[in-house]
Amino acid sequence: MKCTILGSVDNAPAALLTLAKQFQLDFSPEKALPFQLIWQDNALKLLQTEIEKQGPIWVDFSSPQSEYRRLQVSIKKEAIAKAVGLKAGKRPRVLDATAGLGRDAFVLAALGCEVELVERHPVVASLLHDGLRRALIEASVNDVASRMTLVHQASLDYLTQVANLEHDLKPQVVYLDPMYPHPENKKKAAAVKKEMRSFQHLVGADTDADHLLDAALAAAQERVVVKRPDYAGVLDGKKPSHVISAKKNRFDVYVKAKAN
């Protein structure tokens, strides 16, 4: 679905021009498009104009919510930490192949992991890139942001490239959180986060999600972790080594056999 930056190149700030060039985003004065990117308070933000009273979506790693999350994270409390295999003295390198707005990557980076974030959609990638830009100059989170690196590329293509690297250059863990459609008959459908609703309209479903698992297993040294809603089936029909449950979702963990 088409999404442009509201405004003109002529009066755009330098940071916005850089984003537009890097992610091949067009400017337009048209205000009737269902999705628009705007530049507000030195940040790139996404509007879904079809939904009344819905505010903008943007990446802010120094927001009060992110700050609270950062201060609360611990290996013992976080299901994602257990799934990825964090232990005392061990912080695996993680490739988050379906980064989205980077929330899970932020938690892992806050726990000390080096995280590579892969996002294929140019609008989502531009929001994430801009969030990292601001986080790197924000004293409270710049150390966390410095452990996060963005790759704008299709996940399957990038995983295939990584799989061909030497073993020691591969990430210990590949993390997958493919977008999963919310069932229409499931109760409390209105409680789905506004970001998820908007992204499902803008990006569409991850129709190639099943193909990611084998590619991820080839790219990871130690394990692949797949985040799934509690009502969703396993990815590609493959049974995981074990499962770690959380409140509304679970983490299917695929542990690779160690080479002799």
What six digits make up the tokens of 189? 């459908």
| 207-244 residue pLDDT tens | 678 889 999 999 999 999 999 998 899 999 999 999 99
Q: Identify the weakest region by mean pLDDT among 35-39, 67-71, 233-237.
A: 67-71
The total of structural domains in the chain comes to 2
Supply the pTM of this predicted model: 0.91
| 241-260 residue pLDDT tens | 999 998 889 999 999 987 65
Q: How far apart are CA 7 and CA 59, in angstroms?
A: 21
Residues 27 and 74 in one domain: no
Query: Does residue 43 or residue 231 have the better pLDDT?
Result: 43
Query: Does residue 68 or residue 86 have the better pLDDT?
Result: 86
Beta carbons within 8 Å of 239's beta carbon, 6+ residues apart = none
Q: Is residue 192's pLDDT more than 80?
A: no
Q: How far apart are CA 31 and CA 37, in angstroms?
A: 10
Band of pLDDT at residue 10, cut at 50, 70 and 90: very high
Range of the domain at 151: 64-255
Q: How far apart are CA 245 and CA 243, in angstroms?
A: 6
Strands 173-176 and 148-151, how do they pair?
unpaired
Instruction: Give domain status of residue 54, yes or no.
Output: no
DSSP string, 195-211: HHHHHHHHT---TTHHH
Instruction: Give domain status of residue 58, yes or no.
Output: no
Instruction: Give domain status of residue 19, yes or no.
Output: yes
Percent of the chain whose predicted confidence (pLDDT) is above 90: 68
Residues 24 and 128 in one domain: no
The DSSP symbol for 59 reads -
Kind and range of the H or E run holding 242: strand 242-245
Distances (CA, A) of 58 to 162, 189, 250: 29, 22, 26
| 116-127 residue pLDDT tens | 999 999 999 999
Distances (CA, A) of 236 to 211, 215, 242: 7, 12, 16
Residues 26 and 69 in one domain: no
Q: Is residue 202's pLDDT more than 70?
A: yes
Strands 242-245 and 249-255, how do they pair?
antiparallel
